[in-house]
């Protein structure tokens, strides 16, 4: 919604928005764009009377501002519908969908197009460091969008991505998530099938060859050419392959139809980011960008804020901020870091905050995802619907903390031995990032 507000501002509209508990970097971005941010939901926020209210999917009936919109008969629309009608018409939309990797892959693809002078528009669920902003209209027909499967609005229960009508679509992966709105994985697969129905026959679908759930979606009906990606050791038949020169994924060569196109050397790590890069290169190739030029662009790619972002180095501690919200994402991130740092200490600090995590759907897999950490500290927040102590039955490296203060006290002790401290949350985590830096510096 913050990105949509930025796009509306760039279109020349006067924009304000209501939210609660907004934290950087989005709050800073909105302020810099001249967008008025109103804390909380109140009828008074609708004065003076707006020409249009764009309602986010986190809003529901009973919200005082939503009720005021309906009672006053104001014109309203969902975010995805507004985007489709006001921005995406007549654009070549490149959509990045899947449970994991959407933000990073969208950022890579946007940067590749930018590096080639194509000046794409984009809407990304994070702030790519190469751009410093999460959304812009762009100056060309190309528009890159992070295509989320979450529902559209309280009055439109379709997945958001069915509004986007992409010509190029990346389907990174597919797992069970969003347990608050989807009862099982099959329902999510049906929504992905609806997305496939909107992609033209002259378009392109890009997906990793090993993703069984995505293959099952394609088998439900596909009218568009498909190109597969793979790490070469896993599948020698894929259209796009990566050949790892470094086990941590920091250096790898790219082949297309078994013809080497060049070598990526960059600051990122992890097999998941190698696959993200392959998908971005393939999507850019569909628009006419040569693989070698895309590879050159990735050498200058700076990732996204809060994606394994190093926020401080204090004595023997390197402190990372990571927007982790699902066990698979946690696992891939820690695996990549382990390959990079070898036997150096890794301490993962996790706030289970997404709806699915708070409901306890991923209890077993969460414990498994933390195996590469020497120590994992998990916060038992008040709104969790399950007791985290069950995690300690599955792994000996996990401890449960009842408060941010308890986490800080433990990390101050652990800092004496140094290591890599990874703060993993898709929220503000109670301001722990600033507080920990202050504690370590003191």
Name the domain count of the chain.
3
Residue 70 dihedral angles phi and psi, to the nearest 5°: -70, -45
Spans of the chain, pLDDT less than 50: none
Strand partners, 400: 378
Sign of CA dihedral 321, 325, 327, 333: negative
Given this model, what pLDDT does residue 389 score? 84
Instruction: Give the C-alpha separation, 302 to 127, whole Å.
Output: 11
Do 97 and 161 reside in the same domain of the chain?
yes
Inside any domain, residue 303:
no
Instruction: Give the C-alpha separation, 207 to 215, whole Å.
Output: 9
Domain end call among 74, 104, 131:
74
Do 27 and 103 reside in the same domain of the chain?
no
Inside any domain, residue 284:
yes
Instruction: Give the C-alpha separation, 108 to 297, whole Å.
Output: 9
Sign of CA dihedral 135, 141, 142, 148: positive
pTM value is 0.82
Domain end call among 74, 93, 111:
74
pLDDT tens-place string over residues 372-406: 999 999 998 877 777 888 888 888 899 999 999 99
State which residues form the domain around 65.
2-74
Do 437 and 324 reside in the same domain of the chain?
yes
**Residue in the block written with tokens 């190698």:** 274
Residue 385 makes CB contacts below 8 A (sequence gap 6+) with 358, 359, 360
pLDDT tens-place string over residues 197-247: 999 999 999 999 988 989 999 999 999 999 999 998 777 889 999 999 988
Do 122 and 181 reside in the same domain of the chain?
yes
Given this model, what pLDDT does residue 92 score? 98
Inside any domain, residue 125:
yes
Inside any domain, residue 304:
no
Do 265 and 156 reside in the same domain of the chain?
yes
Do 281 and 336 reside in the same domain of the chain?
no
Per-residue b or e along 60-91, where b marks 16 or more CB atoms closer than 10 Å to that residue's CB? eeeeebbebbeeeeeebbbbbbbbbebbbeeb
Do 330 and 209 reside in the same domain of the chain?
no
Do 214 and 125 reside in the same domain of the chain?
yes
CATH number, domain at 378? 3.90.190.20
Given this model, what pLDDT does residue 123 score? 97
């Amino acid at each position: 919604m913050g990105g949509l507000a930025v796009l509306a501002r760039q279109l020349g509209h006067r924009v304000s928005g209501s939210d609660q508990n907004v934290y950087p970097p989005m709050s800073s971005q909105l302020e810099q764009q001249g967008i008025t941010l109103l804390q909380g939901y109140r009828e008074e926020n609708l004065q003076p009377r707006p020409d249009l209210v764009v309602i986010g999917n986190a809003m529901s009936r009973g919200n005082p501002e939503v009720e005021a919109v309906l009672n006053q008969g104001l014109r309203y629309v969902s975010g995805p519908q507004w985007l489709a009608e006001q921005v995406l018409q007549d654009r070549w939309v490149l959509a990045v969908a899947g449970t994991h990797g959407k933000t990073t892959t969208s950022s890579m693809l946007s940067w590749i197009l930018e590096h080639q002078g194509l000046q794409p528009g984009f809407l990304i669920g994070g702030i790519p460091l190469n751009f410093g902003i999460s959304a812009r209209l762009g100056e060309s027909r190309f528009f890159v969008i992070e295509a989320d499967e979450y529902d559209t609005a309280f009055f439109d229960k379709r997945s958001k991505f069915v509004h986007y009508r992409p010509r190029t679509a990346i389907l990174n992966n597919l797992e069970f998530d969003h347990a608050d709105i989807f009862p099982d994985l099959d329902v999510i697969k049906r929504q992905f099938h609806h997305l496939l129905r909107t992609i033209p026959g002259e378009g392109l679908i890009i997906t990793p060859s090993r993703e069984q759930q995505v293959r099952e979606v394609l088998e439900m009906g596909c009218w568009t050419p498909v190109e597969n990606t793979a790490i070469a050791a896993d599948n020698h038949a894929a259209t796009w392959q990566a050949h790892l020169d470094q086990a941590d994924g920091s250096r790898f060569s790219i082949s297309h139809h078994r013809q080497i196109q060049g070598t990526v050397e960059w600051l990122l790590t992890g097999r998941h980011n190698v696959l993200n890069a392959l998908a971005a290169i393939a999507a850019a190739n569909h628009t006419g960008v040569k693989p070698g030029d895309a590879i050159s662009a990735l050498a200058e790619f700076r990732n996204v804020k809060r994606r394994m972002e190093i926020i401080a180095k204090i004595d023997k501690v390197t402190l990372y901020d990571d927007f982790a919200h699902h066990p698979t994402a946690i696992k891939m991130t820690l695996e990549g870091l382990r390959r990079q740092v070898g036997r150096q200490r890794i301490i993962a600090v996790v706030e289970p905050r997404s709806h699915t995590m708070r409901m306890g759907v991923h209890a077993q897999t969460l414990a498994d995802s933390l195996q590469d950490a020497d120590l994992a500290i998990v916060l038992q927040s008040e709104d969790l619907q399950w007791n985290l102590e069950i995690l300690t039955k599955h792994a000996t490296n996990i401890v449960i903390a009842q408060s941010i203060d308890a986490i800080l006290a433990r990390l101050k002790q652990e800092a004496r031995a140094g290591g890599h401290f990874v703060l993993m949350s898709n929220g503000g985590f109670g301001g722990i990032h600033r507080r920990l830096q202050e504690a370590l510096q003191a």
